[in-house]
Chains A and B, each alone.
Chain A
Amino acid sequence: MKRVGKAIVDVVLGVREMGVLIPLAIAMVIFSSNPIFMSRDNIINILRNTSFVFITAIGMTYMIVSGAFDLSVGAVYAFAGVMCGKLMMEAGFPVWLAILAATALTGLAFGGVNGFFVHKVGLPPMLATLATMNIARGIVTGIQQGNPVYPLPEGFAAIGQGSLFKGSSFELPFVVLIAVSLGVLSAWALKKTVYGRAICAIGGNIETARLAGISTKSISISVFILVSALASFSGILISSRLGSAQPNVGVGYEMQTIAAVVIGGTSLQGGRGTIIGTALGALFMTTVANGMTLIRISPFWQQLVLGVVLLAACSMDYVRNQFRK
Chain B
Amino acid sequence: MNDTVLEMNGISKRFGGVAALSDVSIDLREGEILAIVGENGAGKSTLMKVLSGSYPAGSYTGTIRIDGAEQRFASPADSEKAGIAMIYQEISMHLDASIAENIFLGNLPNASGVINWKTVYEKARQYTDMVGLNVPVRQTLRKLSASQQQLVAIARALSRNPRFLVLDEPTSTLTESEADVLFNILFRLKERGISSIYISHKLKEVLYLADRITILRDGRKISTRQIAETSIDLTVEEMVNRKIDEMYPKRAVPIGEEVFRVENLEVVHPLTNSKLIVDGVGFSVRSGEILGLVGLVGSGRSETVNAIFGAIRRKSGELFLDGRPVRIRNPRDAIRSGLALLTEDRKKDGFVAAFNVTLNATLARFRQLARHSVIDRRREESAASEYVDKINIKLRDLRDNILQLSGGNQQKVVLSKWLMTRPRVLFLDEPTRGIDVGAKAQIYELICDLAQEGIAVVMISSELPELVGMCDRFVVLSEGKVAAERQRGEADEEALLRLATLGMG
| Contact mask for chain B residues 359-377; partner A; CB cutoff 8 A; 1 contact, 0 none | 1000110110010011100
Q: Which of A191, A213, A269 contacts B332 (CB 8 A)?
A: A213
Q: Which of A192, A203, A210 contacts B374 (CB 8 A)?
A: A192
Do B367 and A194 have beta carbons less than 8 Å apart? Answer: yes
Q: Which residues of B contact A (CB under 8 A)?
A: 309, 311, 330-332, 334-336, 341, 343, 348-355, 359, 363-364, 366-367, 370, 373-375, 417
Do A194 and B349 have beta carbons less than 8 Å apart? Answer: no
Return A15 CB to nearest CB of chain B, in Å: 14
Q: Report if A200-B354 is in contact (Cβ < 8 Å); known contacts: A193-B375, A208-B363, A212-B364.
A: yes
Bound form: Cα–Cα A204–B351 in Å: 9
Chain A residues whose C-beta falls within 8 Å of the C-beta of B363 in the assembled complex: 201, 208-209, 212
Chain A residues whose C-beta falls within 8 Å of the C-beta of B352 in the assembled complex: 200-201, 204-205, 208-209, 271
What 7 A-B pairs are tightest by C-beta distance, nearest first? Answer: A271-B354, A204-B352, A207-B349, A213-B332, A212-B364, A204-B354, A213-B335
Bound form: Cα–Cα A214–B309 in Å: 14
Chain B residues whose C-beta falls within 8 Å of the C-beta of A201 in the assembled complex: 352, 355, 359, 363
Q: Report if A213-B364 is in contact (Cβ < 8 Å); known contacts: A192-B374, A194-B370.
A: yes
Chain A residues whose C-beta falls within 8 Å of the C-beta of B354 in the assembled complex: 200, 203-205, 267, 269-272
Q: Which of A204, A213, A214 contacts B353 (CB 8 A)?
A: A204
Chain B residues whose C-beta falls within 8 Å of the C-beta of A181 in the assembled complex: none
Do A204 and B349 have beta carbons less than 8 Å apart? Answer: no
Indicate if A13 sits at the interface (CB-CB under 8 A).
no
Indicate if A215 sits at the interface (CB-CB under 8 A).
yes
| 30 A-B pairs whose Cβ atoms sit less than 8 Å apart in the complex | A193-B375, A194-B367, A200-B354, A200-B355, A201-B359, A203-B354, A204-B352, A204-B353, A204-B354, A204-B355, A205-B352, A205-B353, A205-B354, A207-B349, A208-B349, A208-B350, A208-B352, A211-B309, A211-B331, A211-B343, A212-B335, A212-B363, A212-B364, A212-B417, A213-B331, A213-B336, A214-B332, A267-B354, A270-B354, A271-B354
Chain A residue with the shortest CB-CB distance to B350: A208
Q: How many chain A residues touch B (Cβ–Cβ < 8 Å)?
A: 26
Return B332 CB to nearest CB of chain A, in Å: 4
| Contact mask for chain A residues 165-209; partner B; CB cutoff 8 A; 1 contact, 0 none | 000000000000000000000000001111111001101110111
Chain A residue with the shortest CB-CB distance to B377: A192
Return A267 CB to nearest CB of chain B, in Å: 7
Do B349 and A205 have beta carbons less than 8 Å apart? Answer: yes
Return B476 CB to nearest CB of chain A, in Å: 26
Do A215 and B373 have beta carbons less than 8 Å apart? Answer: no
Chain B residue with the shortest CB-CB distance to A269: B354
Return B318 CB to nearest CB of chain A, in Å: 22
Bound form: Cα–Cα A84–B367 in Å: 38
Bound form: Cα–Cα A191–B370 in Å: 12
Do B366 and A197 have beta carbons less than 8 Å apart? Answer: yes
Bound form: Cα–Cα A194–B368 in Å: 9
Q: Which of A191-245 contact B (CB under 8 A)?
A: 191-197, 200-201, 203-205, 207-215
Bound form: Cα–Cα A196–B374 in Å: 10
Return B437 CB to nearest CB of chain A, in Å: 26
Return B361 CB to nearest CB of chain A, in Å: 11
Bound form: Cα–Cα A214–B311 in Å: 12
Bound form: Cα–Cα A47–B336 in Å: 48
Do B373 and A210 have beta carbons less than 8 Å apart? Answer: no
Q: Which of B331, B359, B367 contacts A210 (CB 8 A)?
A: B331
**Could you say which of A197, A200, A272 has the most chain B C-beta atoms within 10 Å of its C-beta?**
A197
Q: Report if A271-B335 is in contact (Cβ < 8 Å); known contacts: A194-B373, A208-B350, A211-B311.
A: no
Chain B residues whose C-beta falls within 8 Å of the C-beta of A267 in the assembled complex: 354
Bound form: Cα–Cα A64–B93 in Å: 31
**Could you say which of A191, A204, A208, A267 has the most chain B C-beta atoms within 10 Å of its C-beta?**
A208
Return A234 CB to nearest CB of chain B, in Å: 26
Return A122 CB to nearest CB of chain B, in Å: 15
Return A265 CB to nearest CB of chain B, in Å: 13
Bound form: Cα–Cα A192–B275 in Å: 47
Bound form: Cα–Cα A82–B352 in Å: 42
Return B186 CB to nearest CB of chain A, in Å: 36
Chain A residues whose C-beta falls within 8 Å of the C-beta of B330 in the assembled complex: 210
Return A308 CB to nearest CB of chain B, in Å: 28
Return B362 CB to nearest CB of chain A, in Å: 9
Return B357 CB to nearest CB of chain A, in Å: 14
Chain A residues whose C-beta falls within 8 Å of the C-beta of B311 in the assembled complex: 210-211
Bound form: Cα–Cα A204–B348 in Å: 11
Q: Which of A111-164 contact B (CB under 8 A)?
A: none
Bound form: Cα–Cα A310–B355 in Å: 26
Chain B residues whose C-beta falls within 8 Å of the C-beta of A195 in the assembled complex: 373
Chain A residues whose C-beta falls within 8 Å of the C-beta of B359 in the assembled complex: 197, 200-201
Do B353 and A194 have beta carbons less than 8 Å apart? Answer: no
Return B278 CB to nearest CB of chain A, in Å: 18
Chain B residues whose C-beta falls within 8 Å of the C-beta of A196 in the assembled complex: 375
Bound form: Cα–Cα A227–B28 in Å: 61
11 A-B pairs besides A205-B349, A210-B311 with CB distance below 8 A are A195-B373, A197-B366, A200-B352, A204-B355, A205-B351, A208-B351, A211-B311, A212-B331, A212-B417, A269-B354, A272-B354
Chain A residues whose C-beta falls within 8 Å of the C-beta of B335 in the assembled complex: 212-213
Bound form: Cα–Cα A211–B305 in Å: 12
Chain B residues whose C-beta falls within 8 Å of the C-beta of A213 in the assembled complex: 331-332, 334-336, 364
Bound form: Cα–Cα A235–B239 in Å: 68
Chain A residue with the shortest CB-CB distance to B351: A208
Return B473 CB to nearest CB of chain A, in Å: 26
Bound form: Cα–Cα A111–B373 in Å: 24
Chain B residue with the shortest CB-CB distance to A202: B352
**Could you say which of B341, B352, B363, B367 has the most chain A C-beta atoms within 10 Å of its C-beta?**
B352
Return B430 CB to nearest CB of chain A, in Å: 15
Chain B residues whose C-beta falls within 8 Å of the C-beta of A192 in the assembled complex: 374-375
Chain B residues whose C-beta falls within 8 Å of the C-beta of A191 in the assembled complex: 375
Return A18 CB to nearest CB of chain B, in Å: 19
Return A273 CB to nearest CB of chain B, in Å: 10
Bound form: Cα–Cα A272–B352 in Å: 11
Chain A residue with the shortest CB-CB distance to B373: A194
Bound form: Cα–Cα A211–B352 in Å: 12
Return A3 CB to nearest CB of chain B, in Å: 12
Return A32 CB to nearest CB of chain B, in Å: 39
Bound form: Cα–Cα A267–B370 in Å: 26
Bound form: Cα–Cα A195–B309 in Å: 24
Chain B residues whose C-beta falls within 8 Å of the C-beta of A204 in the assembled complex: 352-355
